[in-house]
Amino acid sequence: MDITNASLAGKFSVFMMSSYLYYIRFMPILYDREYDMIASELLSKWDDFDHMHKHLVTKEDLSAGTLFSLSDEDYPNIVKGAADMWLRENEIGKVAGD
């Protein structure tokens, strides 16, 4: 997924979904480097964006580059559903040779 031109809120959504997939579902979808770059950018621009789930993430989480502190119950259902859809689309792309 190319998120180079995504808004900060969009990158935050990707951070949440990829964290859910990695820490809860044990299915990484981003390279560690990509995840760390997103976390770093979100941290450096923390005051420049709003997101309805921003309260679930702290600057310390972003600085550490992890959302290990969140449990399955902490993730909103919309994040879980979007992450599962992203994972399925990614698997379909791999099968199709993308």
Tens-digit pLDDT profile for the chain (98 aa)?
678 889 999 999 999 999 999 999 999 999 999 999 999 999 999 999 999 999 999 999 999 999 999 999 999 999 999 999 999 998 764 544 44
With contact defined as beta carbons under 8 Å apart, do 54 and 12 qualify? yes
Residue 55 lies in a domain: yes
Number of domains, the chain = 1
Residue 40 lies in a domain: yes
Residue 2 lies in a domain: no
For the whole model, what pTM was predicted?
0.90
pLDDT at res. 97: 45
Residue 1 lies in a domain: no
pLDDT at res. 96: 42
Residue 50 lies in a domain: yes
Tell me the Cα Rg of the chain.
13
Residue 87 lies in a domain: yes
DSSP conformation letters of 16-85: HHHHIIIIIS----S-HHHHHHHHHHHHHTGGG---TTGGG--HHHHHHT--TT--GGGS-HHHHHHHHH
Which tokens is 28 given? 């990484």
